[in-house]
Chain A
């Protein structure tokens, strides 16, 4: 670990200015649960850390005209416990609850979870200089690929490790970004980028930019359809949703594969559906053939196993991760089945 400067700005503008001044040597720190381990293990070596802890207004969950605004500094534990999220965006609460361990959920933040770096063993090893670290090769191709992607790999084969990103994707969340040129928002599906676009990054943040909020649409804006029922705190419940995560131990583990499913029902008809997968691709992966299959179906007619079989149209497993293909199908089958039966 090399020495670094630690700065705690008091305003967003100040933070953006600090970040933009020396982008290559400066890193943001929120909860630090990912970044500090990268620093300690010799994977990251920033000269300057800019903390978001002292900036007012970045933490907390606010209800807005039927939707929610989630501050980037909101902890994962706060997401998991929030009554409106539990009631209306159930998959997100479940994803938050299944994430890491209680200690990490208490310090880890939403923004940090979306921006966390990959868990690829080769990327995380201090001795390797892989493509993602600016090197010239992917070590996993000749090495161990058990946890890597089965679709969307392009020279680099990471999976995005965030649980919340997968759940947010099925609610058509938008990410609010502040930067030197002001504030912009983008759909969460565009926020994450794969190695084909940029080997060194997992999201579209430009130098000097940072995530300030995540916006969850409410009943009026959500393209999923009309609400099923009225929810708590004046927020409507637009959808039924669910998050399932397969892993190797019950806690403190990243997903081998995870799935979030959300459906909007009109009577017994599925008006709209969203299915997103974690652990299979370098970005949260929308299983669009499953969504298309579900859309317009009667709940009773849904063949969950068929839905599962559509989840990964053209998987390209590596040497050790072929198991993720049946695992994905099985997990989607289970999630769709549970959502259809009222889960």
Chain B
């Protein structure tokens, strides 16, 4: 990259999709129409748990305009996920798919659904993991997960060092239980798919986080060769990781095949809330041991996650929940256990940062308590105990030469870069940490300040590939199977390609998210696009650059080292008149198109690659109404070198805004007696609006990662990780109440304040610090 004169990265290049989206030209899946297209609807279960004994389709099939019906009794036997048939003879939550209909219009489809006669055999149901784990509880997946509802039959258990020894050394032990309820991702675009067959070849346009993975899934489910399936990802109206992990595409494909016409299936808003994928509810018990000098001797976390009806990304969520307690604080003895439990609730899936926000809420709230109990300022406590560049104490267990997991358990491996200390210091400085919150004149309103820090995977993900090519007219294309899920990956990857080729990124033609025209690619997940796919893009661009310079060197009769590639031309350094356009260079090649591809297995055999952050919040609690307002927010992040500052700011603002609801107002509520979801709407699942947002200041630590492509590390999910604890700690500072359950609604604030006033010494209030749950070890 050394000789490029165009600093294509590091600039706030306008996102490639901005014009289309702002002008309403952007086509999302549900905007697409094909000649003869039919409209599909899904019949959903009214029962939380039942066997489907029969589905009588005769009346519906006779309705004029009905073209196809699919039921569990005539569906292809393949699966869309290990525990998810295209349709199943058992339904496992209220809203689970029972049957689907394709008709000439939605009114007919709706009428057809009402004519389907389903005979159910209702089964006992369980909504809480505690009940689902009891002996004798109804088993929700008797075939795939026999014997009980604990996924895999045993918990995840990871230990570094020995927590028993760690607690034996402790002079102070704190323990607390936290609860985080289900939280919906509330993407503006409900899931949609459009399926069309030509002979035995299927094309599906759909809400997707990865067209190649969707292709493989559909081929498997439908029992057809992957070569016969093409998946295209139109613009996505937000994914947050959870689109779509569902039956959507397979149902559309089966209906289209039976109808002999294209079929579009779009979820309703309520479907999206109930039958989409949510953040897993979690009960987290965390216990930590400390020395009087403030150091940490042991951390033991036990999480029980409510899986809901189907697996989706559950194991990944469970694993990520524990990474904060395993790795954020320097600690020789750390143990994490996770119980992932099937229940008859809507399905938990991937949602921005998976389990990390749940885990960090527990960890960072407990550590705030610890700092107080030890008489240390929360910032000082974290500066003292943060994991440092050398990583955790202990011994490396990954075999030599093998890439280190970006969620390691082992000690003895350093980070490639670690800007956590910078995040803490820069954030604290910008926030004015240490100065007390200025109190308003109204004595009912109390202000307080709080903070948190966070750790997250730094970007190495799945094997990734990219191709950069140039044709005889000099047009350069970046070809990549990745799906831009709305975060701006195409923009940044184009910048990365442009940098190597001395171009303006806007001059690069982008060919993305179509399984027929792009090389295999992973899902856009785990904050890996910039790092993993970016590594491939940089390699491919560098390789193409080399080819171009070789050809030009011949033509310009100058050594490669003497050439400059910039502005669509190659010229001789110091003599720019001696130049060739890229088109002229390509014409010297033997073939019509010059191309360079790269496939990478991103990561490092010697380093942990992680991203970091520190958040600071100032809140005002209205003790009269229980309302919490976040007045000011400072977020400092180490995501390596920032390739597009504007997009990076958007990511951080988005993460904070989204998790403000997680902290204060959002909860998807399932009714205990009936299993129905009570608030599956924007009105009742209360996402904050722009009026609820604080003033947000964002800082990026000046870190250049030595391994990340162009110095970059992951950012996408990281800002979501530490928001809730920063706010909860600020609320404690304001009113002296430690909340252990989210969201912190006016109801909960008022209940806690009533307890605080009436109780002699309630265990969760400031008046009790140093006693109660705090026991000397």
Contact of A331 with B625 in the complex, beta carbons under 8 Å: yes
Contact among A3, A251, A323 for B747, CB-based, below 8 A: A323
Query: Does B674 count as interface, using CB distance less than 8 angstroms?
Result: yes
Chain B residues closer than 8 Å to A246, beta-carbon distance? 625-627, 746
Compute how far the CA of A322 lies from the CA of B755 in the bound complex, rounded to whole angstroms.
12
Query: Does B711 count as interface, using CB distance less than 8 angstroms?
Result: no
Compute how far the CA of A333 lies from the CA of B442 in the bound complex, rounded to whole angstroms.
13
Compute how far the CA of A327 lies from the CA of B622 in the bound complex, rounded to whole angstroms.
11
Contact among A125, A139, A249, A330 for B624, CB-based, below 8 A: A330
Contact of A256 with B94 in the complex, beta carbons under 8 Å: no
Contact among B94, B625, B672, B687 for A330, CB-based, below 8 A: B625
Query: What is the distance, in angstroms, from A207's C-beta to the closest C-beta of chain B?
Result: 28
Query: Does B669 count as interface, using CB distance less than 8 angstroms?
Result: yes
Chain A residues closer than 8 Å to B676, beta-carbon distance? 125, 127-128
Compute how far the CA of A144 lies from the CA of B671 in the bound complex, rounded to whole angstroms.
7
Compute how far the CA of A41 lies from the CA of B679 in the bound complex, rounded to whole angstroms.
12
Contact of A323 with B626 in the complex, beta carbons under 8 Å: yes
With A250-B691, A330-B625 in contact, do A127 and B444 touch (Cβ < 8 Å)?
no
Contact of A322 with B665 in the complex, beta carbons under 8 Å: no
Compute how far the CA of A248 lies from the CA of B683 in the bound complex, rounded to whole angstroms.
11
Compute how far the CA of A326 lies from the CA of B664 in the bound complex, rounded to whole angstroms.
20
Per-residue A-contact encoding for B679-694, CB less than 8 Å = 1, 0 else: 1011110111101100
The winner among A41, A121, A248, A321 for most chain B CB atoms within 10 A is A248
Contact of B747 with A320 in the complex, beta carbons under 8 Å: yes
Chain B residues closer than 8 Å to A333, beta-carbon distance? 624
By beta carbon, the residue of chain A nearest B743 is: A248
Chain A residues closer than 8 Å to B626, beta-carbon distance? 246, 323, 327
Contact of A256 with B624 in the complex, beta carbons under 8 Å: no
Additional 12 contacts, C-beta under 8 A, given A142-B672, A330-B444, A330-B624: A127-B46, A143-B672, A143-B674, A143-B678, A246-B625, A246-B626, A251-B691, A256-B625, A322-B751, A326-B754, A327-B625, A330-B623
Contact of A253 with B674 in the complex, beta carbons under 8 Å: no
Compute how far the CA of A177 lies from the CA of B678 in the bound complex, rounded to whole angstroms.
35
Contact among A3, A122, A250, A334 for B444, CB-based, below 8 A: A334
The winner among B270, B624, B669, B692 for most chain A CB atoms within 10 A is B624
Query: Does A1 count as interface, using CB distance less than 8 angstroms?
Result: yes
With A322-B751, A323-B747, A327-B750 in contact, do A249 and B665 touch (Cβ < 8 Å)?
yes
Query: What is the distance, in angstroms, from A102's C-beta to the closest C-beta of chain B?
Result: 11
Contact among B623, B672, B689 for A250, CB-based, below 8 A: B689
Compute how far the CA of A246 lies from the CA of B551 in the bound complex, rounded to whole angstroms.
71
By beta carbon, the residue of chain B nearest A125 is: B676
By beta carbon, the residue of chain A nearest B749 is: A323
By beta carbon, the residue of chain A nearest B628 is: A248
Compute how far the CA of A250 lies from the CA of B665 in the bound complex, rounded to whole angstroms.
11
Compute how far the CA of A143 lies from the CA of B673 in the bound complex, rounded to whole angstroms.
7
A-B pairs, 5 with minimum CB distance? A330-B624, A250-B691, A323-B750, A121-B678, A246-B625
Per-residue B-contact encoding for A197-241, CB less than 8 Å = 1, 0 else: 000000000000000000000000000000000000000000000
Query: Does B117 count as interface, using CB distance less than 8 angstroms?
Result: no
Query: What is the distance, in angstroms, from B394's C-beta to the closest C-beta of chain A?
Result: 45
Query: What is the distance, in angstroms, from B444's C-beta to the closest C-beta of chain A?
Result: 7
Contact among B94, B623, B665, B684 for A127, CB-based, below 8 A: B94
By beta carbon, the residue of chain A nearest B675 is: A127
Query: Does B380 count as interface, using CB distance less than 8 angstroms?
Result: no
By beta carbon, the residue of chain A nearest B757 is: A326
Per-residue A-contact encoding for B585-628, CB less than 8 Å = 1, 0 else: 00000000000000000000000000000000000000111110
Chain B residues closer than 8 Å to A142, beta-carbon distance? 672-673
Chain B residues closer than 8 Å to A144, beta-carbon distance? 669, 671, 678
Query: Does A187 count as interface, using CB distance less than 8 angstroms?
Result: no
Compute how far the CA of A323 lies from the CA of B745 in the bound complex, rounded to whole angstroms.
11
Chain B residues closer than 8 Å to A326, beta-carbon distance? 750, 753-754
Query: Does A133 count as interface, using CB distance less than 8 angstroms?
Result: no
Chain B residues closer than 8 Å to A146, beta-carbon distance? 747
Per-residue B-contact encoding for A300-324, CB less than 8 Å = 1, 0 else: 0000000000000000000011110
Query: What is the distance, in angstroms, from A282's C-beta to the closest C-beta of chain B?
Result: 19
Contact among A41, A323, A330 for B270, CB-based, below 8 A: A41
The winner among A127, A143, A253, A334 for most chain B CB atoms within 10 A is A127
Query: Does B107 count as interface, using CB distance less than 8 angstroms?
Result: yes
24 sampled A-B residue pairs with Cβ under 8 A: A1-B110, A41-B270, A121-B678, A122-B678, A125-B676, A139-B671, A139-B674, A142-B672, A144-B671, A246-B627, A247-B627, A247-B746, A249-B686, A249-B688, A250-B691, A251-B689, A252-B689, A320-B747, A326-B753, A327-B624, A330-B623, A330-B625, A333-B624, A334-B444
Compute how far the CA of A121 lies from the CA of B686 in the bound complex, rounded to whole angstroms.
14
Contact of B692 with A249 in the complex, beta carbons under 8 Å: yes
Compute how far the CA of A143 lies from the CA of B679 in the bound complex, rounded to whole angstroms.
13
Compute how far the CA of A36 lies from the CA of B687 in the bound complex, rounded to whole angstroms.
22
Contact of B692 with A250 in the complex, beta carbons under 8 Å: yes
The winner among B688, B691, B750, B751 for most chain A CB atoms within 10 A is B750
Contact of B745 with A248 in the complex, beta carbons under 8 Å: yes
Query: What is the distance, in angstroms, from B109's C-beta to the closest C-beta of chain A?
Result: 11
Compute how far the CA of A133 lies from the CA of B774 in the bound complex, rounded to whole angstroms.
51
Query: What is the distance, in angstroms, from B118's C-beta to the closest C-beta of chain A?
Result: 14
Compute how far the CA of A244 lies from the CA of B381 in the bound complex, rounded to whole angstroms.
42
Compute how far the CA of A320 lies from the CA of B750 in the bound complex, rounded to whole angstroms.
12
Contact of B625 with A3 in the complex, beta carbons under 8 Å: no
Query: What is the distance, in angstroms, from B691's C-beta to the closest C-beta of chain A?
Result: 4
Query: What is the distance, in angstroms, from B622's C-beta to the closest C-beta of chain A?
Result: 8
Per-residue B-contact encoding for A141-184, CB less than 8 Å = 1, 0 else: 01110100000000000000000000000000000000000000
Compute how far the CA of A38 lies from the CA of B687 in the bound complex, rounded to whole angstroms.
21
Chain B residues closer than 8 Å to A248, beta-carbon distance? 627, 665, 686, 745-746
Compute how far the CA of A121 lies from the CA of B673 in the bound complex, rounded to whole angstroms.
14
Contact of B671 with A143 in the complex, beta carbons under 8 Å: yes
The winner among A139, A249, A253, A327 for most chain B CB atoms within 10 A is A249
Query: What is the distance, in angstroms, from A43's C-beta to the closest C-beta of chain B?
Result: 12
With A144-B678, A327-B750 in contact, do A121 and B684 touch (Cβ < 8 Å)?
yes
Query: What is the distance, in angstroms, from B767's C-beta to the closest C-beta of chain A?
Result: 19
Per-residue A-contact encoding for B9-31, CB less than 8 Å = 1, 0 else: 00000000000000000000000
Q: Which of A109-136 contact B (CB under 8 A)?
A: 121-122, 125, 127-128
Compute how far the CA of A130 lies from the CA of B665 in the bound complex, rounded to whole angstroms.
27
Query: What is the distance, in angstroms, from B688's C-beta to the closest C-beta of chain A?
Result: 6
By beta carbon, the residue of chain A nearest B629 is: A250
Compute how far the CA of A122 lies from the CA of B674 in the bound complex, rounded to whole angstroms.
11
By beta carbon, the residue of chain B nearest A142 is: B673
Contact of A121 with B679 in the complex, beta carbons under 8 Å: yes
Contact among B46, B624, B686 for A253, CB-based, below 8 A: B686
Q: Which of A1-34 contact B (CB under 8 A)?
A: 1, 3
Chain A residues closer than 8 Å to B689, beta-carbon distance? 249-252
Chain B residues closer than 8 Å to A323, beta-carbon distance? 626, 746-747, 750-751, 754
Contact of B747 with A334 in the complex, beta carbons under 8 Å: no
Compute how far the CA of A241 lies from the CA of B691 in the bound complex, rounded to whole angstroms.
25
Contact of A331 with B751 in the complex, beta carbons under 8 Å: no
Compute how far the CA of A331 lies from the CA of B665 in the bound complex, rounded to whole angstroms.
20
Chain A residues closer than 8 Å to B682, beta-carbon distance? 252
Query: What is the distance, in angstroms, from A268's C-beta to the closest C-beta of chain B?
Result: 24
Chain A residues closer than 8 Å to B107, beta-carbon distance? 1, 3
Compute how far the CA of A212 lies from the CA of B674 in the bound complex, rounded to whole angstroms.
41
Chain A residues closer than 8 Å to B688, beta-carbon distance? 249
Compute how far the CA of A250 lies from the CA of B626 in the bound complex, rounded to whole angstroms.
13
Q: Which of B687-703 contact A (CB under 8 A)?
A: 687-689, 691-692
By beta carbon, the residue of chain A nearest B660 is: A249
Compute how far the CA of A125 lies from the CA of B677 in the bound complex, rounded to whole angstroms.
9
Compute how far the CA of A51 lies from the CA of B686 in the bound complex, rounded to whole angstroms.
31
Query: What is the distance, in angstroms, from A340's C-beta to the closest C-beta of chain B?
Result: 15
Per-residue B-contact encoding for A249-277, CB less than 8 Å = 1, 0 else: 11111001000000000000000000000
Query: What is the distance, in angstroms, from A104's C-beta to the closest C-beta of chain B?
Result: 10
Chain A residues closer than 8 Å to B672, beta-carbon distance? 142-143
Chain B residues closer than 8 Å to A249, beta-carbon distance? 665, 686-689, 691-692
